[in-house]
Structure 1
Amino acid sequence: MGFAEKRGDYYRGRFKIAPGRYGTVTDAAGATVRFDSKRAAVKAANDAEAAVRAGTWRDPSAGRVLFADYASRWYAAQDLARSTMEIYRSNLEVHLLPYFGEKEVGAISAFDIAEWEKEKKAAGYAPSSIAGWRGNLHLVLADAVDDGLIDVNPATKRRGRGKRAGRDRDRGPEKVIADALGALLLAERAALLAGRDDEFVAVLLLYFTGMRWGELVGLETEYARLGSIRIEHQLYELDTSEFHRCPPKDDSYRTIDTPGWLSKLVSDHIARTAPQPCACHGHRYVFRGLATANGAARRTGAKLVDVARRAGVSTGTVSNVLNHPDRVTEATRREVEAAIAELGFVRGAASGETAAHWRRNGFATWLFQPAATGWYPRKAPHDARPVPLLGEPWPGVPVRGRNAPGRADACWLPIARGLTPHGLRHSHKTAMLELGTPAVLMDDRLGHSDGSVQARYSHITSEMRGRLLDGLTAAWEAALDDRLAMCPRSPVAALDELLRARGRRVAEAGPGPARPVLEAVG
Structure 2
Amino acid sequence: MIRTPISDWLAEKRTEIRRGEWRDPDSGAVGFRAYADKWVDERELAPLTRDLYRYLLDKYLFPFAESDLDEITAPLVREWRADRLRTTNAKTMTAEAYRLLKAIMETAVDDELITRNPCRIKGAGKEKAAERRIATVDQVDALANAIGMRRRLMVYLGAYGPLRPEELAGLRRRDVDLANLRLRVRLAEPERMNGRRVQGDTKSEAGTRTVILPAFLRRELRWHLESYAEPGPDGLLFVGEKGAPFRRSTFGRKWRKAREILGMPEGFRFYGLRHTGHTLSTRSGATLKDTMVRAGQSSEKAALIYQHSDDERQEEVAAGLDVTVRKAREEAARKAADKRSGTDLARGCCDHSGQHKGPGL
Scaled by the length of structure 1, the TM-score of the pair is 0.52
Indicate which of 224, 227, 249 corresponds to 1:361. 249
Determine if contact 2:176/2:182 at 8 Å carries over to the other structure: yes
Is residue 372 of structure 1 aligned with residue 259 of structure 2?
yes
1:287 alignment counterpart: 238
Q: What SS does structure 1 have at the residue aligned with 2:190?
A: strand
The residue number in structure 2 matching 1:199 is 151
Give SS of 2:79's match.
helix
Kept after mapping to 2: 8 A contact 1:177/1:416: no
2:263 aligned residue (387, 390, 414): 414
- Partner of residue 100, structure 1: 64
Q: Is the 8 A contact 2:60 2:94 kept in 1?
A: no
Distance 1:41 1:423, change over 3 A: closer
Distance 1:154 1:447, change over 3 A: same
Aligned residue type for 1:370? K
Is the 8 Å Cα contact of residues 189 and 199 (structure 2) preserved in structure 1?
yes
Change (3 A) 1:421 1:451: closer
**1:120-519 equivalences in 2 (<5 Å):** 120-159=84-123, 171-191=128-148, 197-226=149-178, 227-251=181-205, 252-276=207-231, 283-290=234-241, 354=242, 356-364=244-252, 366-374=253-261, 413-450=262-299
Rounded Cα–Cα distance in structure 1 between residues aligned with 2:191 and 2:208 = 19
Contact 2:229–2:235 under 8 Å retained in 1: no
Contact 1:64–1:105 (CA<8 Å) still a contact in 2?
Answer: yes
Q: Deviations over 1:318-370 (max 9, x none)?
A: xxxxxxxxxxxxxxxxxxxxxxxxxxxxxxxxxxxx26222223322x21122
Query: How far apart are 1:276 and its partner, in Å?
Result: 4.5
AA aligned opposite 2:177: R
Deviation at 1:185, TM superposition (A): 0.9
Amino acid at match of 2:210: T
Deviation at 1:160, TM superposition (A): 8.3
Amino acid at match of 1:266: L
SS at match of 1:441: helix
Structure 2's unaligned 5+ residue stretches are 305-361
Deviating beyond 4 angstroms after TM superposition, the runs of 4 or more aligned structure 1 residues are 170-173
Which secondary structure state, in structure 2, belongs to the residue aligned with residue 244 of structure 1? Answer: coil
Query: Which shows bigger deviation, 438-447 or 220-229?
Result: 220-229
Offset at residue 50 of structure 1 (A): 0.8
Report what 1:393 is aligned to.
none
| Deviation of the 1:431 alpha carbon | 0.4
CA distance in 2, matches of 1:67, 1:94: 15
> Structure 1 residues 173, 43: closer, same or farther in 2, change over 3 A?
closer
C-alpha separation between the residues in 2 aligned to 1:430 and 1:83? Answer: 27
Judging by fraction of residues, say which structure has more helix: 2
- Pairwise CA distance, 1:289: 2.2
Over 3 Å counting, the alpha-carbon distance change for 1:110 and 1:263 in structure 2 is farther
Per-residue deviation, residues 50-86 of structure 1 (Å, max 9, x unmatched): 123xxx3322321221211211222222232333222
How many residues are aligned here?
Answer: 297
- Residues 206-237 of structure 1 deviation map (CA, whole Å, 9 limit, x = unaligned): 11112111111221221122321111111111
SS of 1:286's partner is coil
Q: 1:42-53, aligned counterparts within 5 Å?
A: 43-44=11-12, 46-52=14-20
- Contact kept, 8 Å, 1:229 with 1:255, in 2: the verdict is yes
Check 1:160–1:105 CA distance in 2 against 1; reply closer, same or farther (3 A cut). closer
TM-score (norm 2): 0.74
Instruction: State the one-letter code of the partner of 1:449.
Output: S
Note if 1:114 corresponds to 2:78. yes
**Equivalent AA in structure 2 for residue 255 of structure 1:** T
Deviation, 1:204, is 1.2
Could you tell me how far 1:173 is from its partner in structure 2? 4.3
Letter in structure 2 aligned against 1:94: K
Distance 2:209 2:177 in 1: 13
Q: Is the 8 A contact 2:173 2:229 kept in 1?
A: no
8 Å CA contact 2:229–2:236 kept in 1: the answer is no
| Contact 1:186 1:415 (8 Å CA) reproduced | no
SS at match of 1:229: strand
Q: In 2, are the aligned partners of 1:176 and 1:416 still within 8 Å (CA)?
A: no
- TM-superposed CA distance for 1:249, in Å, is 1.3
Distance in 1, Cα, partners of 2:123 & 2:89:
22
Please, what is the CA RMSD of the aligned residues? 2.9
Distance (Å, rounded) in 2 between the aligned partners of 1:246 and 1:58 = 43
Compute the displacement of 1:417 (Å). Answer: 4.8
**What does the per-residue CA deviation read over 1:168-189, in whole Å, with 9 as the maximum and x for residues that have no partner?**
9x75543221121110011001
- CA contact under 8 A between 2:171 and 2:185: conserved in structure 1? yes
Gaps of 5+ in 1: 1-32, 162-167, 192-196, 291-353, 375-412, 456-522
> 2: distance between equivalents of 1:451 and 1:172?
18
Structure holding more strand per residue: 1
Q: Which amino acid aligns with 1:153?
A: N
Q: CA deviation at 1:131?
A: 1.2
